[in-house]
Amino acid sequence: MPGSSQPPPGAGLAHPVWVNGRAAGEVSALERGLHFGDGLFETIACVGGRARFLPLHLRRLAAGCARLGLAAPDEAILRAEVRQLAAQAARAIIKVLLTRGAAASRGYALSGAEAPTRICLRYAWPPEDPEPAREGVRVRIAALRLGENPALAGLKHCNRLEQVLARREWTDSGIAEALMFSSSGALICGTMSNVFLVRDGKLYTPRVDRCGVAGIMRQVVLAAAADLGLAAEERVLDRGDLEAAGELFLTNALIGIRPVRELEGRALSPGALTRRLQERVAPLLEARVPLPEEAGGA
């Protein structure tokens, strides 16, 4: 309505949507991804008409397909679709969903006749406020605990109910994220991010072999730390490690690296190691240089 601060209906919704390579294609009501969350997805940041970290996303998707026994899409076809969607906008977010397809019969069992469904859709991605990356964000701790299941650990699978429930725990727009622990008390991640902490000059990030997602930006940061000669370790971390951290930052493929300036009322400051890593990955995030594996068009 005139004078309203609310976005118009449909603002921020995906456009266009491709299903199995067809614009405005249909998805079956028998889709196993809808009934069971039987699938995987990738969320890809696109800057300057280029899909950022595309080889890493495709590699993770293929690894997830192997783990779940899904028929992987033809990589060349999927890469071409993502690149075509990315080239049409200066900034965009592309989501790729791959499901096992429409169920051939009722129930969990597979018939063997399922044909995978591939969905690619593009969201608008307005320029972001640089302050969170510069000054840091406020973070809380989620009450909800993540279930531990090594068979699904690390995968970006389509069942995100734990994250949905954790995100319902707060409405304060000043809080950017909530950190999540597992059922056994291990620090794992944020609702939409991976977490890193710095203690005694060393970088740590939680293991994701029992639950959580092995994020693309997490992988990029670990590689950047190795390039800088920084000691970094994936390990089991708990509440004590979190409380003892001198620096804390969050990562995902869209936000890059965001320092935490406040955790549950405890003040923190973006530290020197966080700043070094931000500086190191900045050219990658701004599409000034490609990843080594992108240089050859992979």
Residues 275 and 140 occupy one common structural domain: yes
Q: How far apart are CA 86 and CA 54, in angstroms?
A: 11
Residues 108 and 71 occupy one common structural domain: yes
| 41-85: pLDDT as tens digits | 999 999 999 999 999 999 999 999 999 999 999 999 999 999 999
On the question of pLDDT at 289 being above 50, the answer is yes
Residues 183 and 259 occupy one common structural domain: yes
DSSP 157: B
- Bridge-partner residues for 199, per DSSP? 202
State what percent of residues in the chain have pLDDT above 90: 87
At residue 37, φ and ψ (nearest 5 deg) are 70, 30
Find the domain containing 24 and state its range: 17-124
Instruction: Please report the pLDDT score of residue 288 as a whole number.
Output: 59
| H-state helical runs in the chain | 32-36, 54-68, 75-87, 131-135, 161-167, 216-227, 239-244, 272-285
Q: Distance of CA 213 to CAs 12, 115, 207, 283, Å?
A: 25, 26, 10, 24
In a domain, 4, yes or no: no
Residues 117 and 27 occupy one common structural domain: yes
Instruction: Please report the pLDDT score of residue 286 as a whole number.
Output: 85
Residues 31 and 145 occupy one common structural domain: no
The domain tally of the chain equals: 2
How confident is the prediction for the chain on average, in pLDDT?
92
Q: Out of 51-65, 102-116, 210-224, 251-265, which region has the weakest mean confidence (pLDDT)? A: 102-116
pTM equals 0.91
Residues 162 and 262 occupy one common structural domain: yes
Which pair of tokens denotes residue 141? 């701790």
| 89-119: pLDDT as tens digits | 999 999 999 999 999 889 999 998 899 999 9
Which pair of tokens denotes residue 217? 């930006």
Q: How far apart are CA 286 and CA 223, in angstroms?
A: 17
In a domain, 294, yes or no: no
Residues 50 and 106 occupy one common structural domain: yes
In a domain, 173, yes or no: yes
- b (16+ CB within 10 A) / e for 139-167: bbebebbbebeeebbbbbbbebebbeebb
Regarding predicted confidence, which is higher, 297 or 219?
219
